[in-house]
Structure formats: structure tokens, C-alpha cells
Amino acid sequence: MSKVRVASFSVSLDGFGAGPRQSLEHPLGENGTELHHWFIETQTWRKMHGEHGGRGGVDDDFSARSMRGVGAWILGRNMFGPVRGPWLDEKWRGWWGETPPYHVPVFVLTHHTRPPLPMQGGTTFHFVTDGIHAALELARRAAGDKDVRIGGGVATLRQYLSERLIDELHLALSPVLLGRGEALFAGIDWRDLGYRCVDITAGEGATHVTLAKRA
């Protein structure tokens, strides 16, 4: 049965999923790349970027698993790029070059309309202005019997969590302290929302925690 899930989402020990002040120089916010060292060193990451080598092991197993069975993605606008407000032009085409790593339809939450953006490798970005429920309905339709993956950022995860729309979350707790940034945990009552921890696994560069929604 298909799921709505979060996978390989990196969080600092003090609960931040991104650093402050996202920009072209700092797409994950200042110091935000520190959250993802565990992932960047894996074979899966290297393969996704056309490189060889990388580390196997637990971290790589979780990385590879996160990409399997995904039929559509949902991203917040900040995950697509640093552009704010109306789309003044269509020059910005994402952080990833002409061949993004998704290879399936991607639905981007935004307040401003923009035509679909087909890319190489099977990715098409669709820009959804009707909110999280409309994006999820479109993503489910596109995914068919595969999973819908909520890719982030933090604000997007929090919106879907608050509506209990996520079935499963795999969080990678990175051994870093950001001090400030976008807080994932603040003000969320996970127990009241019906989530429970179903697995904790120590990896080489992160601790992997899986949370699932009670039926």
C-alpha cells in the first residue's frame, strides 16, 4: 500500500532542519550543509550525482531505501530555489542543473503561478497554488500505487504533520549543533498527533529514527 512519507530528512541535535538565511551561496541556510555530511559521503549520493565511490554501510542503506518506490515528490518553494514573491521570469530552474535527481513528477508549493517545468531524466516540476491538500491529491494521482515523498523544507513538513497527513518519517539525526535556523520540533506534540517511534538505528554519520502514525 502506498504511503505519504518523509525519508532521509536531516535534523541537528538541537532540532533544526536547515540553517538561517538561505541564499544562492547557502541553499540549506548558513552551516546547513553540516546536516548532510552523513548523506554526501554515501555511495547512493555519489551515484545520484554521476560520481563513483562513496561509503557503504548503514547510512548508505537508508539513503538507497529512501529513493525506492517513490512515484511523486512534494517540495516547498524554498526547496526549489531562493526566489521570493512573484516569478519575475522563468530563468531559475532549480538547484540541480538540467537533470534533477527526482526522475518523477515534483509538486512545488507556491503562492504564485508558473507553468510546468519539464526537465531531463523524467522530472517535471508542477507549481501548486491551492495549498498542501491540493498538492497531495495531485501527487497521489501521479504516484499511482507508489509512495509520495515529502521532501521539505521544514515549514512544509510541519504543515503536513499538523494535518496528520504523513504516514512515516525517517529522520537522520546528525551529530551537529546549528544553534539557530528552521526548527522542526518546536511546538509540535508528536504524541497528540498520533506518532510513535518504531525504529532507531545507529549509522556511521547519523542516527536514524523512524516515526510512524498510529492507525
User: What is the mean predicted confidence (pLDDT) over 122-137?
Assistant: 98
Q: pLDDT by residue (tens digit) across 5-22?
A: 999 999 999 999 999 988
pLDDT at residue 6, as a whole number: 98
State residue 22's pLDDT score. 86
Q: Is residue 14 assigned to a domain?
A: yes
Q: What is the CATH number of the domain that holds 167?
A: 3.40.430.10
Of the listed ranges 30-34, 63-67, 80-84, 210-214, the one predicted with least confidence: 80-84
Q: What is the pTM of this model?
A: 0.94
Residues 6+ apart with CB under 8 A from 37: 174, 176, 205
Q: Which helix (H) or strand (E) holds 40?
A: helix 37-40
Of 158, 162, 133, nearest to 148 (Cα)? 133
In a domain, 205, yes or no: yes
* Contact call for residues 139 and 63 (beta carbons, < 8 A): no
Q: How confident is the model at residue 35 (pLDDT cuts 50, 70, 90)?
A: very high
The mean pLDDT value for 32-58 works out to: 91
Mean pLDDT of 88-104: 91
Is 97 within a domain?
no
Count of structural domains within the chain: 1
Average pLDDT, the chain: 95
Range of the structural domain that residue 184 is part of: 4-87+115-213
